Amino acid sequence: MNVQVVDDGIGVLQWNAATDSDTLTRGVGLAADDALIGRGLRRVEVALPSTDAMARRAMHRAGFRREGVRRQALRLANGELDDVVLYARLVDDITTGPSGFSGVMNSVLPTKRVIGHVIFRDSAGRMLLCDTHFKADWELPGGVVEPRESPRVGAIREVAEELSLVVDQLRLLVVDWMPPYLGWDDALEFIFDGGVLTDEQISQIVKQDAEIIAVHWVPVERLADHVSELSARRLQIALSLAPGEVALTENGTR
């Protein structure tokens, strides 16, 4: 087992001999310690076939974080293609104790995309929808929540970016699990009530041209003509809620 330096402060971990899980874990840990502490490297990385479950477990136990997947990058002996998983350990990574374990698991366990959308209405009861460049159906203002950002804060930020509309009082209406759609993996969507906008607020709306083609005020009875079937189901639920009620739904169904 050796670490070959390939760039300034970066080494690639390699081994050839077959071994068992415990021996591999110890060997990986010692080789990484030697490279990062003894030789002064700042990063050690290794690429593994996704099907090599034992080696991947050894990476986890030795404090290596998973950083990404190269899809169909390796041709196996039987001719089939396999993904390659990239792991790395940095010199300042915590590798022991609860923080070390959690840091590794945080890189390995599944994550969910989170979306924050906001319902705004005007004095006539119409709902604000955005016609975007990215898909045919219209949608509520808002968007994908950033890492370490709450759904409410993400929705507020997205509304400000998309419409130059500053709001801070949002009430949660619906939390919905969305199945895979248009190439996206599944997600959790939080739909908030932004209340009734005044004429002055509406006059100050400036759409973000890079994302939004046009902004429309749509009567409630015409919503289904412009949004996806999933959005229509969720909006119907949101509009039917009693004051203070919150709905937990899956695919727009209670």
pLDDT tens for each residue of 150-169? 999 999 999 999 999 999 88
Q: Coil, strand or helix: which one is 125?
A: coil
CB 154 within 8 A of CB 172: no
φ, ψ at 89 (rounded to 5°): -130, 130
Structure tokens, 201? 């607020």
214-219 mean pLDDT? 98
pLDDT tens for each residue of 19-46? 899 999 999 999 999 999 999 999 999 9
Looking at the predicted structure, is the pLDDT value of residue 89 above 90? yes
pLDDT tens for each residue of 106-157? 999 999 999 999 999 999 999 999 999 988 999 999 999 999 999 999 999 9
Give pLDDT, residue 91: 97
Tell me the percentage of the chain whose pLDDT exceeds 70.
Answer: 100
193-214 mean pLDDT? 96
Q: pLDDT band for position 78 (50/70/90)?
A: very high
Q: pLDDT band for position 18 (50/70/90)?
A: confident
Q: Coil, strand or helix: which one is 94?
A: coil
CATH of 2-107, one of 3.40.50.2020, 3.40.50.1360, 3.40.630.30, 3.40.718.10: 3.40.630.30
Give pLDDT, residue 205: 96
Question: Which CATH number describes the domain made up of 113-250?
Answer: 3.90.79.10
Q: Coil, strand or helix: which one is 83?
A: strand
Q: Are strands 43-49 and 10-14 parallel, antiparallel or unpaired?
A: parallel
Looking at the predicted structure, is the pLDDT value of residue 181 above 90? no
Residue ranges in the chain assigned as alpha helix (H): 21-33, 53-61, 97-108, 151-163, 199-203, 229-240
Closest by CA to 47, choosing from 38, 58, 56, is: 56
Rounded Cα distance between 15 and 18, Å, is 9
| Domain map (residue ranges) of the chain | 2-107, 113-250
Looking at the predicted structure, is the pLDDT value of residue 182 above 90? no
Query: DSSP character for 41?
Result: -
